[in-house]
Homo-oligomer: A and B are copies of this chain.
């Protein structure tokens, strides 16, 4: 069988290099193009790719990508830029997995409120599918445009979905206290990501204002069939990668740990990348993998969920490949184990 020809849009960042490494191992994908404003060999941008791939970055050009036979494009562009580049690809029947935030929020007003930018591709927004396979499953398979989910939201949504689905917790006042490695902040040098600033330190940021908040709420409301609201607090940790979310919710009835663990096991029984555990996961257990580890506890009448992942793999490029697998009929696990 021929391999699917893929392109990576925006090759200079961390999600791009992670994605390229995953695709190089994928039995059914062939990277035929990488775009970037930097006209360089991709291994000059990322020395770790030396000797593994021989592709020179090219400026974005939908016709050129089509001419190369690209069947699927992975968007690793910043939000705002994504919705400029993606429409011409869709017009040319190139399917897209977009890792930016541009097509995640169904309501363009909510997008504008949180991203301070007007959405100007309502047409494609209307049919984009939120690419969290464990929740949106088969809807992804036939999509033209998949909005790959954010890193934090996956821990929150998968951490809470079984409880919300079974109406076991109150739908408001849910506290999501998340801890992330620095790679989540991207590859552009900034003072708060300067090594001597963030090393040996922990701090909260974007308190009450982080843009992943509405994304978490949209998906959980879908699962609940009713509005869910959360208090989400991200923290910066002195490590490269990994997210741990510690989630606190109020049960609607008396619950026990064994009962909830069983519920999670059942809910995720046929989901190969969610590992339900009884011991609190360390983010390191998931490093370099597409697994999301989840553990549920009952503490003094509250339900406490711990959800861990690698923010670059499961949180971005790994789940993008998982979505690609669904789009093109591969085993969901292809290239990811």
> Counting CB contacts under 8 A, is A322 at the interface?
no
C-beta contact mask, A203-215 vs B, less than 8 Å → 1, else 0? 1110110000000
Docked-complex contact B48 and A289, CB < 8 angstroms: yes
- Within residues 136 to 152 of chain A, which ones have a CB less than 8 A from any CB in chain B? none
Within the assembled complex, what's the spacing in Å between the Cα atoms of A296 and B302? 23
Say how far A61's CB is from chain B's closest CB, in angstroms: 27
Within the assembled complex, what's the spacing in Å between the Cα atoms of A190 and B301? 32
The interface-forming segment of A30-38, A75-83, A160-168, A175-183 is A175-183
**Least CB separation from A49: chain B residue:** B285
Docked-complex contact B202 and A275, CB < 8 angstroms: no
Kindly list chain B residues whose C-beta atoms are within 8 Å of the C-beta of A277: 47, 50
> Counting CB contacts under 8 A, is A297 at the interface?
yes
Within the assembled complex, what's the spacing in Å between the Cα atoms of A291 and B47? 12
Within the assembled complex, what's the spacing in Å between the Cα atoms of A313 and B241? 19
Within the assembled complex, what's the spacing in Å between the Cα atoms of A87 and B196? 32
Within the assembled complex, what's the spacing in Å between the Cα atoms of A195 and B241? 11
- Within residues 219 to 250 of chain A, which ones have a CB less than 8 A from any CB in chain B? 229, 231, 233, 235, 237-242, 244, 246, 248, 250
Within the assembled complex, what's the spacing in Å between the Cα atoms of A177 and B238? 17
Docked-complex contact A280 and B204, CB < 8 angstroms: yes
Within the assembled complex, what's the spacing in Å between the Cα atoms of A241 and B231? 27
> Counting CB contacts under 8 A, is A90 at the interface?
no
Docked-complex contact A246 and B235, CB < 8 angstroms: yes
**Least CB separation from A280: chain B residue:** B204
C-beta contact mask, A277-312 vs B, less than 8 Å → 1, else 0? 101111111111101010001111110101010000
Docked-complex contact B175 and A302, CB < 8 angstroms: yes
Kindly list chain B residues whose C-beta atoms are within 8 Å of the C-beta of A304: 207-208, 231, 233
Of B239, B246, B291, B302, the contact of A199 (CB 8 Å cutoff): B239
Q: A14-B196, A194-B187 are in contact. Are A238 and B235 (CB under 8 A)?
A: no
> Counting CB contacts under 8 A, is A173 at the interface?
yes
Of B14, B179, B189, B205, the contact of A202 (CB 8 Å cutoff): B179
Docked-complex contact A281 and B203, CB < 8 angstroms: yes
Kindly list chain B residues whose C-beta atoms are within 8 Å of the C-beta of A201: 239, 242, 282-284, 287
Within the assembled complex, what's the spacing in Å between the Cα atoms of A50 and B285? 9
> Counting CB contacts under 8 A, is A198 at the interface?
yes
Docked-complex contact A194 and B196, CB < 8 angstroms: no
Docked-complex contact A248 and B231, CB < 8 angstroms: yes
Within the assembled complex, what's the spacing in Å between the Cα atoms of A238 and B200? 8
Q: A208-B297, A238-B238 are in contact. Are A189 and B189 (CB under 8 A)?
A: yes
Listed by A's residue number, 7 A-B pairs whose Cβ atoms lie within 8 Å are: A25-B337, A52-B337, A201-B284, A202-B244, A202-B308, A203-B244, A207-B297
Closest 6 CB pairs of A and B: A201-B284, A208-B299, A203-B282, A189-B189, A182-B195, A47-B285
Interface contacts beyond A14-B196, A173-B301, A203-B284: sample of 16 additional A-B pairs, CB < 8 Å, sorted by A? A52-B337, A173-B302, A199-B239, A200-B239, A200-B240, A200-B283, A201-B284, A202-B282, A203-B283, A204-B280, A207-B297, A207-B299, A208-B297, A208-B298, A231-B302, A233-B304
